[in-house]
Amino acid sequence: METETSRKSSVTNLLQAVRRESGKSFNQIAEETGLTNVYVAQLLKRQAQLKPETAPKLRAALPELPDELIHEMMRPPIRSYDPNLIQEPTVYRLNEAVMHFGESIKEIINEEFGDGM
């Protein structure tokens, strides 16, 4: 029986293959869809939910994206955390930045947006 984690892995591998075969970067897809590059990456890693109004834009940018993957992307995202991810150098440095500057970042967020986070 397939677990949610293995299912997510299978789907994200297929999504990443479509993007690689397209030859497009996250920035190029973002430009074509009017989305941000981070949001595009989140969509293709199943960390964000594809909205119905965004689906045609993504389909236009990645025409090889099959209907079943589009429908899968419209389901609520499968968020997970791999504790080994922190060992990846870029993620480690991002975490380190949050640890060092988190209090200041929190203060600015609270000042700008309130304490509703």
Which tokens is 17 given? 């293959």
**Regarding predicted confidence, which is higher, 30 or 106?**
30
Q: Are 70 and 62 in contact (CB under 8 A)?
A: no
Q: Are 65 and 21 in contact (CB under 8 A)?
A: no
Q: What is the pLDDT of residue 1?
A: 57
| Helices marked H in the chain | 4-22, 26-33, 37-44, 55-61, 67-74, 89-113
Write out pLDDT tens, residues 66-115: 999 999 999 998 777 778 888 889 989 989 999 998 899 888 888 988 87
Of the candidate ranges 19-23, 31-35, 41-45, 88-92, the one whose mean pLDDT is the lowest: 88-92
Q: What is the pLDDT of residue 2?
A: 62
Q: What is the pLDDT of residue 50?
A: 96
Q: What is the pLDDT of residue 116?
A: 66
4-74 belongs to which homologous superfamily? Answer: lambda repressor-like DNA-binding domains (1.10.260.40)
CATH 1.10.260.40 domain residues, the chain? 4-74
Which tokens is 111 given? 């000042």
Of the candidate ranges 5-9, 11-15, 37-41, 69-73, the one whose mean pLDDT is the lowest: 5-9
**Regarding predicted confidence, which is higher, 106 or 5?**
106
Length of the chain: 117
What is the overall mean pLDDT for the chain? 90
